[in-house]
C-alpha cells in the first residue's frame, strides 16, 4: 500500500516536472546528444530543461532553442548532425573552436529559421553542402578560416536574404558560380548581399561578366589570393555601391576596365600582383578613394598619372614595379592626407623636388629608380628612401635618404603603469590591473590608411569596440591594441587583448559574446574595412586560476577618458621622438612591446609559450654546464633543464653566427607557439635577452627514431610498435600540413627529427627549416634548397618548388628506414632503389626478406607489410602530384594497423578519423598495448638529439 502510494507520488512529481519543463523534448534530446559527443561544453549543461535552467550559450523563445552562442569555448567534436535537429535555431555561432572537426551535413537544411551562421576559425572540412541553399532566411553566412574544399555551391544564390557571405581562408576550388539557363542559382542573384569575401581559396576561371549587375548592393568585393584568370569584367563599373575591391594576388590579365572610374564610392582598390596590361586607368573623380595598390603588374610604360594629384582623400599609393618613367611631379606631395607613396622599382628619373607643402607624416619610397638629384636636401622632414638610384651611387651615398629606413619600435603605447609584476599568466591592463585578457588577432580584409603609427586610427577602433562591448553588457575593463602588422596577404593584423572588469577572468558567456560581437560585426569602423577575429584559446574557461595580486591599482585611480588622453599624449610624444620610426614596424627590437621588464607588461599570451629570462635558464641548466648538454649541432647546443614546477625541458641555445634576425626569431616563435599537437614537439617558451636566442621545448625522453630503429638506444621495436610510430609521425605532419594555421611545411623530415617519448609516442621535432605553406597549390619557390641528403625530394631539388609533397617524400624514406633499419644511403645505394629492386614484380612479401630489418623476422609474417611498402613507395614517387597527401598516408596506416590488430581486439573505426583526436580507438589500443607489456619507463634516459644540417 505504502509502496503504491510512493510510486504514485513519484509518477505525479514526474508529471509535474514534465509540465514545468520549458524545453521542447526534441531540442532536449538533440542537446543531450551534443553533450555526449562534444567535449568542453559549459559545466552548467545539466538537468532536463536547458531553457528553464539557463544553460550557458543557449537562448530560447517559448520552448524552442533559438540561439546557440558558443564562440571560443575550446569545444571539441567531430559531428555536426545533432545541431541540424534543433530546427527552431535562428542564430548559431561556434566560431573559434578549433577542435570542431566535422563536415557540414546536408541535413543543415532543416534549420529553416536560421538567419545567422558563424563558424569562423574552426576545423570544418569537406564540401559545403548544396543544401545550404535551402536556408531561406539566412542573412549572415561566415565560414571563414576552416578547411572547406570543393566548389562554392551555386545554391547559395538561392539565399535571397543574404547580406554577408564570407567563405575566405578555406581550400575551396572551382569557378565562381553564376546563374544560367540550365542553372537558375548563382551569386549574381544575391541582390541584397553587401559582402562577398572569397579571399584565400583556390578559386579559378574567369570572373563572370554576369556576376555584377546595376541592381546589386554590394559594397565589398573581396576575391584576393585565388587563382582567378582572365580580365576584370567591365560590368563591375555598374555596381555603384562598391566601396572596396580586392583582386590582388590572382592571375588576372588584360587591361583594367575603364568603367572602374564610374565607381564614385570606391574607397580601396587592391589590384597588385596580377598580370594586368594596357594603360593605367584614369581614376579622376573617385574622391573617396583612400588606398590604391596596383604594384607588380605589366602595364604599359607611362608617366606618373596626373589624376593621382587630384584625389583629395588619398592616403596611400602603391605603384611598385609598374613601368613608371619620367620625372616625379612635385604636385604629388601636396595631397593633405597622404601617408605613403611607394614607387620603387620603376624608371622614374630627373631630379626629385618635393616642394614645400607636404604632410609631415609622409613616407616616400623611390628605391631602385633613376633619380639623379634631390632638391631641398637640407631641411626636408619626410621619410624618403632613394637607395639604388644614381643619386645614391656616388659620394652622396652616406646621406640618410640613401639608406633603407630604420625603425625602432611598436607605435602603440600600451600603458604607463608603474612597474607591477603580475602572476605568471597574467597581463597588466592599461588600467594597471593584473588579469587574464581574452586575446586574439583582428584580421582586416581592407583598411584605408598605411601610417601604422598614427594613433588616430586605433583610437577610433578602440572606441568602437569598447562601446560595442559595453552595449552588450560584457564586463570589460579595458582593451589593448598592439602589434599592427601587414601580413603576407596584405591584411592588417592587430592583436587585441580584452581585459575583464571586476574579476581577473572572463566567464564563458562573456567570452562567447565578445567572440560574437567581433565576428558577427554588426558595426562598421571608420578607416577599417571588414575583419574577422581568431582567438588564442582562452586560458581560464574552467574557472579562475589561483592568482597572486589581483587588481593591484598603482597610483591614483585615473578616470577612463583622462587615461585615454594621457595615452594619446604620451603616444604623440613618443612619435615625435621617433620621427623615422615608420613603415616597417619593429625591425630592431620586435620584442619591445613584449618585454615584461619594460613596464608595458604586454607579454603576449603566446598560446602557452612563455618568456624566460636569461637568468631563469642559466639557473636551471646549472650555468649551461656540460653535464646538462644533451646534444649539439651547427646552430649551437641543446641543454636539459627543469623549469617551473618540475617541467623538464630541452633548451636550444643558438651560438654566435647562427642567430637569426630578431624579426625572424619572433616570427618563428609566433609560428611555433601556435602548434599544439601531441605528435609534434611543443614549444614551451623562449628567451631573447642579453644577445641570446634560446628556444625552450618539451623534453622528449627516449631519443630519436633513428637510434631506436638501429638498436643504438638499447631496445627493439616490434612491427606493431613501428606501425604505431609511423602513424604518430604521420599524424604530426598531417597536422602541420592540413590543420595548423597557417599550414607549415617541415622541410627536414628524417628519422633523427622524429623523437619518442617514454611511452614510445612519436613526435615530430625541429622545424627550424619550416616555411609557411603560403600560396597553397602554386608551390613555394625557395631561394635555397634545404634539407638532408637522402631524404630530399628530387622534384623539389630540381625545381625549387617546395610543396607539402616534399615532406611526403621524406616521410616515405622514413617509412622504408623503419622497416629496413638501413640508412637512406648505404654503400652508395639509395634505399628507395634498394627496396624497389627487392620488390621485383612478385607481390610476394617474401621477396622483401633480403632488405627487411632482420630483427623483425620474416616479412611474410608481418601483417600488412606489403601494403606498407606500397604506401612507402607511393610517397617517394618521382612526380610530387602522384604522391598521397599526409592525410591519406594517415588513413592508410590506420587501415594497415586494423589488419595488424588481432580480430578480437578490433574496434569500431570512425569514418573521419582526425589527426588530433585523442579518442581515436586505434590510439587507445596502442597505449593499452604498451602498458600491458609493462614497458619499462626507465629507458627514459636517452639523450635528446636535435640535428640540424
Ligand atoms: C537571450 O535572451 C534574452 C532574453 O530574451 C536576451 O536579453 C539576450 O540578449 C539573449 N541573448 C542572446 C545571446 O541572444
Ligand atoms: C520559425 O519562425 C516562425 C516565426 O518567425 C515561427 O512561427 C515558426 O514556428 C519557427 N519554426 C520553427 C521550426 O521553430
Ligand atoms: C577541387 O578540390 C577537390 C577536393 O579537394 C579535388 O578533389 C578536386 O580535384 C579539385 N578540383 C579541381 C578542378 O581542382
Ligand atoms: C559610366 O556611367 C555612365 C552612366 O551611368 C555611362 O553612360 C558610362 O558609359 C559609364 N562609363 C564607363 C566607362 O563605363
Ligand atoms: C601625423 O601624425 C600625428 C600623430 O599620429 C597625427 O596626430 C596627425 O594628425 C598626423 N598629421 C597629418 C597631417 O595627418
Ligand 2, atom 4, residue with closest C-alpha:
113
Ligand 1 surroundings by CB, under 6 angstroms: 59, 67, 69
Taking residues 434-462, what's their average pLDDT?
Answer: 91
171: in domain: no
Q: How many residues does the chain have?
A: 949
pLDDT digit string, tens, across residues 657-706: 666 666 667 767 777 777 788 899 888 888 877 777 888 888 888 888 98
For 673, list phi and psi in degrees, rounded to 5.
Answer: -70, -15
Q: How far apart are CA 665 and CA 662, in angstroms?
A: 5
Residue 239 has pLDDT above 70, yes or no: yes
pLDDT digit string, tens, across residues 293-309: 999 999 999 999 988 88
Q: How far apart are CA 441 and CA 426, in angstroms?
A: 18
Identify whether the C-beta of residue 766 lies closer than 8 Å to the C-beta of residue 681.
yes
Atom of ligand 3 nearest to the CA of 174: 13
501: in domain: yes
CA-closest candidate to residue 771, choices 796, 789, 798: 796
Least confident segment among 198-202, 409-413, 521-525, 582-586: 582-586
Instruction: Say which DSSP state 582 is in.
Output: -
Angle, helix 865-875 to helix 804-820, in steps of 10 degrees:
140
Taking residues 153-167, what's their average pLDDT?
Answer: 96
Q: Counting Cβ atoms within 10 Å, is residue 671 exposed (0-12), middle (13-18) or buried (19+)?
A: middle
Identify whether the C-beta of residue 570 lies closer than 8 Å to the C-beta of residue 644.
no
pLDDT digit string, tens, across residues 843-856: 888 888 889 998 88
CA 276 to centroid of ligand 4, rounded, Å: 22
pLDDT value, residue 780:
43
Of all ligands present, the nearest one to the C-alpha of 88 is 2
Residue 642 has pLDDT above 80, yes or no: yes
pLDDT value, residue 554:
30
Please work out whether the CB of residue 575 comes within 6 Å of at least one atom of ligand 5: yes
Residue 868: pLDDT band with limits 50, 70, 90? very high
544: in domain: no
What percent of the chain has pLDDT above 90?
46
Q: Following CA atoms 18, 21, 25, 28 in sequence, which dihedral angle do they give, to the nearest 10 degrees? A: -130
Statement to judge: residues 856 and 906 lie in one domain: no
Please work out whether the CB of residue 498 comes within 6 Å of at least one atom of ligand 5: no
Least confident segment among 20-29, 67-76, 237-246, 301-310: 20-29
Instruction: Say which DSSP state 738 is in.
Output: I
Statement to judge: residues 721 and 685 lie in one domain: no
- Concerning whether 748 is annotated as a catalytic residue, the answer is yes
CA 112 to centroid of ligand 2, rounded, Å: 8
Residue 342 has pLDDT above 90, yes or no: yes
Ligand 2, atom 13, residue with closest C-alpha:
88
Q: How far apart are CA 22 and CA 761, in angstroms?
A: 48
| C-alpha pair distances (Å), 682 with each of 73, 760, 763, 794, 926 | 22, 16, 9, 30, 22
Residue 373 has pLDDT above 50, yes or no: yes
DSSP codes of every residue in 423-471:
-TT-EE-TTS-EE--EEEEEEES-BS---TT-HHHHHHHHHHHHHHHHH
pLDDT value, residue 593:
46
Atom of ligand 4 nearest to the CA of 234: 14
Specify the higher pLDDT residue, 829 or 79: 79
pLDDT value, residue 16:
39
Taking residues 587-598, what's their average pLDDT?
Answer: 44
Please work out whether the CB of residue 88 comes within 6 Å of at least one atom of ligand 2: yes
Specify the higher pLDDT residue, 693 or 343: 343
Taking residues 879-902, what's their average pLDDT?
Answer: 87
What percent of the chain has pLDDT above 70?
79
Least confident segment among 367-371, 626-630, 656-660: 656-660
Domain boundary (163, 198, 218) is at: 163
Domain boundary (475, 507, 535) is at: 535
Cis peptide before 742 (omega within 30 of 0): yes
Statement to judge: residues 751 and 852 lie in one domain: yes
CA 454 to centroid of ligand 5, rounded, Å: 6
Residue 268: pLDDT band with limits 50, 70, 90? very high
CA 738 to centroid of ligand 3, rounded, Å: 15
210: in domain: no
Please work out whether the CB of residue 361 comes within 6 Å of at least one atom of ligand 5: yes
Residue 901: pLDDT band with limits 50, 70, 90? low
Domain count, the chain: 5
Specify the higher pLDDT residue, 548 or 309: 309
pLDDT value, residue 514:
96
Instruction: Say which DSSP state 144 is in.
Output: -
Residue 417 has pLDDT above 70, yes or no: no
Cis peptide before 123 (omega within 30 of 0): no
Statement to judge: residues 792 and 870 lie in one domain: yes
Domain boundary (535, 553, 587) is at: 535
Task: Name the average pLDDT for the chain.
Answer: 80
Residue 655: pLDDT band with limits 50, 70, 90? confident
pLDDT value, residue 918:
30
Q: What is the CATH number of the domain that holds 759?
A: 1.10.510.10
Q: What is the CATH number of the domain that holds 662?
A: 3.30.200.20
Atom of ligand 5 nearest to the CA of 359: 13
Specify the higher pLDDT residue, 708 or 140: 140
CA-closest candidate to residue 217, choices 253, 289, 164, 166: 164
Ligand 3 surroundings by CB, under 6 angstroms: 149-150, 173
Ligand 4 surroundings by CB, under 6 angstroms: 237, 258-259, 262
CA 202 to centroid of ligand 3, rounded, Å: 9
pLDDT value, residue 170:
95
Residue 777 has pLDDT above 60, yes or no: no
Statement to judge: residues 867 and 913 lie in one domain: no
360: in domain: no
Q: How far apart are CA 646 and CA 643, in angstroms?
A: 6
Of all ligands present, the nearest one to the C-alpha of 115 is 2
342 is in an annotated binding site: no
Statement to judge: residues 679 and 728 lie in one domain: no
Statement to judge: residues 883 and 792 lie in one domain: yes
Ligand 5, atom 13, residue with closest C-alpha:
359
Ligand 3, atom 9, residue with closest C-alpha:
150
pLDDT digit string, tens, across residues 828-838: 788 999 898 88
Q: What is the CATH number of the domain that holds 56?
A: 3.80.10.10
CA 113 to centroid of ligand 2, rounded, Å: 6
| C-alpha pair distances (Å), 223 with each of 197, 317, 449, 474, 480 | 6, 20, 20, 34, 31
Statement to judge: residues 640 and 671 lie in one domain: yes
Taking residues 135-141, what's their average pLDDT?
Answer: 97
Cell of 562: 583622462
pLDDT value, residue 608:
58
Ligand 5, atom 6, residue with closest C-alpha:
454
464: in domain: yes
Estimate to the nearest angstrom the gap between the alpha carbon of 805 and the chain centroid: 20
Q: How far apart are CA 273 and CA 488, in angstroms?
A: 12
Specify the higher pLDDT residue, 644 or 484: 484
Q: How far apart are CA 256 and CA 279, in angstroms?
A: 8
924: in domain: yes
pLDDT value, residue 289:
95
pLDDT digit string, tens, across residues 27-69: 999 999 999 999 999 999 998 899 988 999 999 998 999 999 9
| Region for residue 362 given its phi and psi (left: phi exceeds 0; alpha: psi -120 to 50; beta: otherwise) | beta
Q: Dihedral sign, CA of 414, 337, 449, 288?
A: positive
Of all ligands present, the nearest one to the C-alpha of 234 is 4
Residue 913 has pLDDT above 70, yes or no: no
Atom of ligand 1 nearest to the CA of 516: 13
Least confident segment among 365-379, 520-534, 912-926: 912-926
Residue 603 has pLDDT above 80, yes or no: no
CA 388 to centroid of ligand 5, rounded, Å: 29
Taking residues 173-196, what's their average pLDDT?
Answer: 94
Statement to judge: residues 892 and 916 lie in one domain: no
The domain in which residue 102 lies consists of 49-144+153-163
Please work out whether the CB of residue 590 comes within 6 Å of at least one atom of ligand 2: no
CA 66 to centroid of ligand 1, rounded, Å: 10
Please work out whether the CB of residue 114 comes within 6 Å of at least one atom of ligand 2: no
pLDDT digit string, tens, across residues 249-262: 999 999 999 999 99
Atom of ligand 1 nearest to the CA of 59: 1
pLDDT value, residue 378:
60
Atom of ligand 1 nearest to the CA of 472: 9
Residue 331: pLDDT band with limits 50, 70, 90? confident
Choose the catalytic residue: 82, 224, 748, 757.
748
pLDDT value, residue 414:
46
Which of 234, 237, 262 to mutate to test ligand 4, by most ligand atoms within 8 A of the CB atom?
Answer: 262
Statement to judge: residues 630 and 734 lie in one domain: no
Least confident segment among 151-165, 166-180, 228-242, 405-419: 405-419
Residue 546: pLDDT band with limits 50, 70, 90? very low
Instruction: Say which DSSP state 174 is in.
Output: E
What are 704's strand-pairing partners? Answer: 755
Statement to judge: residues 711 and 796 lie in one domain: yes
pLDDT value, residue 398:
63
781: in domain: yes
Please work out whether the CB of residue 845 comes within 6 Å of at least one atom of ligand 2: no
Please work out whether the CB of residue 109 comes within 6 Å of at least one atom of ligand 2: no
Q: What is the CATH number of the domain that holds 506?
A: 3.30.70
Statement to judge: residues 895 and 757 lie in one domain: yes
Question: SS3 for 379?
Answer: coil
pLDDT value, residue 869:
93
Question: SS3 for 514?
Answer: helix
Ligand 3, atom 5, residue with closest C-alpha:
149
Identify whether the C-beta of residue 715 lies closer than 8 Å to the C-beta of residue 939.
yes
Amino acid at each position: 500500500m505504502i509502496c503504491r502510494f510512493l510510486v504514485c507520488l513519484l509518477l505525479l512529481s514526474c508529471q509535474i516536472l514534465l509540465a514545468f519543463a520549458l524545453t521542447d523534448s526534441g531540442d532536449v534530446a538533440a542537446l543531450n546528444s551534443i553533450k555526449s559527443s562534444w567535449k568542453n561544453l559549459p559545466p552548467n549543461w545539466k538537468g532536463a530543461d536547458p531553457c528553464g535552467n539557463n544553460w550557458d550559450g543557449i537562448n530560447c523563445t517559448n520552448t524552442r532553442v533559438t540561439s546557440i552562442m558558443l564562440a571560443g569555448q575550446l569545444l571539441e567534436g567531430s559531428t555536426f548532425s545533432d545541431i541540424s535537429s534543433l530546427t527552431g535555431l535562428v542564430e548559431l555561432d561556434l566560431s573559434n573552436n578549433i577542435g570542431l572537426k566535422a563536415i557540414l551535413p546536408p541535413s543543415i537544411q532543416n534549420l529553416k529559421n536560421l538567419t545567422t551562421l558563424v563558424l569562423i576559425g574552426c576545423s570544418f572540412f569537406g564540401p559545403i553542402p548544396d543544401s545550404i541553399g535551402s536556408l531561406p532566411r539566412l542573412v549572415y553566412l561566415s565560414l571563414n578560416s576552416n578547411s572547406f574544399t570543393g566548389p562554392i555551391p551555386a545554391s547559395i544564390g538561392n539565399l535571397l536574404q543574404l547580406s554577408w557571405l564570407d567563405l575566405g581562408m578555406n581550400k575551396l576550388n572551382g569557378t565562381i558560380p553564376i546563374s544560367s539557363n540550365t542553372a537558375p542559382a548563382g551569386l549574381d542573384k544575391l541582390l541584397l548581399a553587401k559582402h562577398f569575401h572569397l579571399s584565400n581559396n583556390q578559386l579559378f576561371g574567369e570572373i563572370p561578366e554576369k556576376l555584377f549587375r546595376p541592381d546589386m548592393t554590394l559594397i565589398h568585393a573581396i576575391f584576393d589570393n585565388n587563382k582567378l584568370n582572365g580580365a576584370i569584367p567591365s560590368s563591375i563599373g555598374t555596381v555603384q555601391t562598391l566601396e572596396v575591391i580586392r583582386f590582388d594576388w590572382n592571375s588576372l590579365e588584360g587591361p583594367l576596365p575603364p568603367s572602374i572610374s564610374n565607381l564614385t564610392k570606391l574607397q580601396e582598390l587592391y589590384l597588385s600582383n596580377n598580370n594586368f596590361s594596357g594603360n593605367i586607368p584614369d581614376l579622376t573623380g573617385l574622391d573617396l578613394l583612400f588606398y590604391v595598390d596596383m604594384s607588380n603588374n605589366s602595364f604599359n610604360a607611362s608617366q606618373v598619372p596626373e589624376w593621382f594629384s587630384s584625389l583629395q582623400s588619398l592616403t596611400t599609393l602603391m605603384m611598385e614595379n609598374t613601368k613608371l618613367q619620367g620625372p616625379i611631379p612635385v604636385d604629388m606631395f601636396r595631397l593633405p592626407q597622404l601617408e605613403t607613396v611607394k614607387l620603387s622599382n620603376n624608371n622614374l628619373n630627373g631630379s626629385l623636388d618635393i616642394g614645400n607643402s607636404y604632410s609631415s607624416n609622409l613616407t616616400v619610397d623611390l628605391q631602385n629608380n633613376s633619380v639623379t638629384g634631390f632638391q631641398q636636401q637640407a631641411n626636408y622632414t619626410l621619410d624618403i628612401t632613394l637607395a639604388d638610384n644614381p643619386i645614391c651611387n656616388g659620394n652622396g651615398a652616406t646621406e640618410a635618404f640613401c639608406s633603407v629606413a630604420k625603425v625602432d619600435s611598436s607605435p602603440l603605447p600600451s600603458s604607463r603603469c608603474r612597474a607591477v609584476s603580475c602572476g605568471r599568466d597574467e597581463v597588466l591592463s592599461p588600467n594597471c590591473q593584473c588579469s587574464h585578457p581574452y586575446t586574439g588577432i583582428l584580421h582586416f580584409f581592407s583598411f584605408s590608411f598605411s601610417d601604422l603609427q598614427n594613433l588616430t586610427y586605433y583610437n577610433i577602433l578602440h572606441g568602437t569596440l569598447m562601446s560595442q562591448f559595453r552595449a552588450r553588457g560584457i564586463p570589460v575593463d579595458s582593451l589593448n591594441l598592439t602589434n599592427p602588422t601587414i601580413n603576407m596577404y596584405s591584411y592588417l593584423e592587430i592583436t587585441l587583448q580584452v581585459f575583464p572588469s571586476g574579476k581577473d577572468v572572463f566567464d564563458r558567456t562573456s567570452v562567447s559574446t565578445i567572440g560574437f560581437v567581433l565576428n558577427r560585426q554588426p558595426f562598421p569602423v571608420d578607416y577599417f574595412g571588414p575583419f574577422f577575429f581568431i582567438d588564442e584559446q582562452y586560458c581560464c574557461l574552467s574557472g579562475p586560476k589561483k592568482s597572486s595580486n589581483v587588481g593591484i591599482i598603482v597610483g591614483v585611480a585615473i578616470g577612463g577618458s583622462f587615461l585615454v588622453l594621457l595615452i594619446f599624449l604620451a603616444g604623440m610624444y613618443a612619435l615625435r621622438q621617433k620621427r623615422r620610426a615608420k613603415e616597417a614596424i619593429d625591425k630592431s627590437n620586435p620584442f619591445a612591446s613584449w618585454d615584461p621588464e619594460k613596464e608595458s607588461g604586454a607579454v603576449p599570451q603566446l598560446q602557452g609559450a612563455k618568456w624566460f629570462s636569461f637568468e631563469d635558464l642559466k639557473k636551471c641548466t646549472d650555468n649551461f654546464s656540460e653535464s646538462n648538454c644533451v646534444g649539439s649541432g651547427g646552430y649551437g647546443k641543446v641543454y636539459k633543464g627543469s623549469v617551473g614546477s618540475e617541467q623538464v625541458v630541452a633548451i636550444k641555445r643558438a651560438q654566435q653566427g647562427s642567430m637569426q634576425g630578431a624579426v625572424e626569431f619572433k616570427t618563428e616563435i609566433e609560428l611555433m607557439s601556435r602548434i599544439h599537437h601531441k605528435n609534434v614537439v611543443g614549444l614551451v617558451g623562449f628567451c631573447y635577452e642579453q644577445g641570446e636566442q634560446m628556444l625552450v621545448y618539451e623534453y622528449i625522453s627516449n631519443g630519436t627514431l633513428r637510434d631506436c630503429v638501429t638498436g643504438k638506444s638499447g631496445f627493439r621495436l616490434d612491427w606493431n610498435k613501428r606501425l604505431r610510430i609511423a602513424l604518430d609521425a604521420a599524424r604530426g605532419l598531417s597536422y602541420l600540413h592540413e590543420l595548423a594555421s597557417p599550414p607549415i611545411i617541415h622541410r627536414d623530415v628524417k628519422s633523427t627529427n622524429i623523437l619518442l617519448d617514454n611511452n614510445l609516442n612519436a613526435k615530430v621535432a625541429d622545424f627550424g627549416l619550416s616555411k609557411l605553406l603560403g600560396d597553397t597549390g602554386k608551390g613555394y619557390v625557395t631561394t635555397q634548397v634545404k634539407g638532408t641528403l637522402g631524404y630530399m625530394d628530387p622534384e623539389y631539388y630540381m625545381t625549387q618548388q617546395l610543396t607539402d609533397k616534399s615532406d611526403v617524400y621524406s616521410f616515405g624514406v622514413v617509412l622504408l628506414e623503419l622497416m629496413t633499419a638501413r640508412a637512406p644511403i648505404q654503400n652508395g645505394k639509395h634505399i628507395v632503389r634498394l627496396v624497389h629492386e627487392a620488390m621485383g614484380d612478385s607481390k610476394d612479401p617474401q621477396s622483401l626478406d633480403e632488405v627487411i630489418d632482420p630483427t623483425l623476422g620474416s616479412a611474410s609474417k608481418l601483417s600488412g607489410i606489403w601494403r606498407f611498402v606500397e604506401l612507402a613507395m607511393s610517397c617517394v614517387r618521382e612526380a610530387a602530384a602522384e604522391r598521397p597527401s599526409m592525410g591519406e598516408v594517415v588513413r592508410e596506416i590506420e587501415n594497415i594497423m586494423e589488419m595488424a590488430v588481432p580480430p578480437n581486439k578490433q574496434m569500431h573505426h570512425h569514418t573521419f578519423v582526425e589527426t588530433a583526436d585523442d579518442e581515436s580507438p586505434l590510439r587507445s589500443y596502442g597505449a593499452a598495448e604498451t602498458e600491458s607489456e609493462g614497458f619499462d619507463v626507465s629507458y627514459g634516459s636517452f639523450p635528446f638529439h636535435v640535428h640540424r644540417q
